[in-house]
């Protein structure tokens, strides 16, 4: 397993070069964009603090959210 892959399917984060990287799964659970330019931001438009609108690709992958 590469360093960039989470240890399990629903992991909240993984480590990369000494940084914690939040997964899409974690960001979906949080339910709102923090505006911190997260790599796996599931919201649209991306990195817009307070945004709750999910992008279409995420809605297809996670239809219950």
Task: Share the mean pLDDT of the chain.
Answer: 85
Tens digit of each residue's pLDDT (9 = 90 or more) over 25-63: 999 999 999 999 999 999 999 999 999 999 999 888 887
* H helices present in 1-65, as ranges: 24-30, 56-61
CB-facing half-sphere around the CA of 43: CA atoms within 13 A: 22
Evaluate the omega torsion of the peptide bond into residue 31 and state whether it is cis, within 30 degrees of 0. no
Q: Name the pTM for this structure.
A: 0.75
């Amino acid at each position: 397993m590469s360093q960039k892959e989470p240890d399990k399917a629903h992991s909240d984060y993984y480590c990369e070069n000494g940084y914690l990287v939040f997964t899409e799964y974690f960001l979906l659970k949080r339910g709102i964009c923090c505006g911190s330019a997260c790599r796996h931001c599931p919201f649209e438009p991306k990195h817009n603090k307070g945004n709750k609108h999910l992008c279409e690709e995420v809605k297809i992958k996670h239809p219950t959210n």
